[in-house]
Copies of this chain bind each other. A is one copy, B any other.
């Protein structure tokens, strides 16, 4: 997606050791025009999949998923990471390991919001080691729902999340795939 490559080159920051920081438009500040372009692109990529629901994970997946859902005209469900006394009694739970924070946490969805008839599109901002995406897949599978695709904004192609998902024959589309050369410059695959 050329628009997004240009946006990353213009507004992304590369930190030492191959960390791409997109806080100025995707992870802290949200550039709504950019999110609209992302949403339209996801709709093109998954237009013939009869998506009935978009599934994502709080917090940084929510904006991308909500804006994208406008083009699919379907609801979003976001998996919760935090304890919440208000969740229903029947929930699906999966474990996600965060490399950034070096800890494992539970992600949860109330059972009433995922149906076995759902055709689910999983959307997230980043794909690195794939732990979050696999957790969301697991939640959908617990509900007996079909995952018709996974849409990722930025895939770190030097980590193995993409490989893990593609080996499972999942309909995965990443809008851009990035890696870094030894000068910490960004390279789009």
Contacts and interface: CB of A to CB of B under 8 A. Distances in A.
B110 A28 contact: yes
A66 interface: yes
Nearest to A53: B29
Interface of A is mostly: mixed
Question: What's the interface size class on A, roughly?
Answer: 35 or more
- Which among A23, A27, A112 has the greatest number of chain B C-beta atoms within 10 A? A23
Interface stretch (A30-38, A42-50, A148-156, A164-172): A30-38
Interface stretch (A73-81, A134-142, A177-185): A73-81
A106 to B, nearest CB: 15
A28 B85 contact: no
